[in-house]
Structure 1
Amino acid sequence: MLFKETDLPGIGKKFSVITGNKEKVAVIIHFSGKREIYFFDKNDFDEPACAFSLNEDEAAQLGSILMGTYFKPEAQDEKEMFMKNLVIEWVNVDSGSCMINKSIKELEIRKRTGTSVIAIIRNNETITNPSPDEIIKVGDTLVLVGNKEQIKRFFETFYPKCNLR
């Protein structure tokens, strides 16, 4: 990608980018905060095929989308706090498990550990949001969600001899 920065006296700066696909985009950032974005056809870098303007907030939002970090400021802190406490764990049910041939309800997984079974992977098929009456079978993979303590409690309850956690 080719990148060029040019000072525009009395206006601001111009940034021109030519991508690996030979497409050109130019961005003019005014001292006022206004942004003008110009798109050019591959065969004509002199006259823009399309142009639009953004204010500072719109430009910041578009930039975060392009960077893959789009966020809504008022909800971001809540999402980060929620995600820090969220753990998703995959648990393989082997032939020695005490859970075999018992339902989620019978095992009282949520009541005893606080974790929720959000899916069961069985024979290359996924049962999402399984019913409490779903019977756990040998070879199933349980997908659990909870916080770290709840996941730890799950292993202490259903895999007490397992010292991995």
Structure 2
Amino acid sequence: MNLKETDLPGIGKKFVVETRSSDKLAITIHDDGRREVIHFDSDDHDQIKSKITLDDDEARYVSAIIGGVTYKPTALDNIEVALGDLIIEWYRLEPQYKAIGKTIGDLRIRQRSGATIIAVIEKNHSKHINPGPDLLLTADALIVVLGERLHQQQIRQILLSGSS
């Protein structure tokens, strides 16, 4: 597989993927959350065969399907042994979330949910990998969380209610 990544200033980011089976896809992630997926003709990589547009929620559902969240192919059994029941979820801090303006430590996220915040990506695209307890959560930040399904349910409630 061959992957090319291109920044599109004022638009977002574009990924062009050429698969082992010689298919070519272009995936554009717009700054507003929209995704466009273009599939090119296998005989003529300049000719568009199909195009779909997904909003942010639709893209996440499709990625979960492709990533094997809803159906686990037999080939993934070895990975499941390594990961067990751990899953990674992304949460966008919408304006109504009460966790906004509080730190990870204020919310006692790990102690209360058992989940771990592995990254926070701010609205301005600044990234905090493995953030500490002093990181202040801001509106529209994307929170990346590692935990089991029950942990994920608990962290969602903590982010919504903001109670510590």
Which of 1 and 2 has higher RCO (CA within 8 Å, sep 6+)?
2
TM-score, normalised with respect to structure 1: 0.47
Greater strand share, 1 or 2? 1
TM-score, normalised with respect to structure 2: 0.47
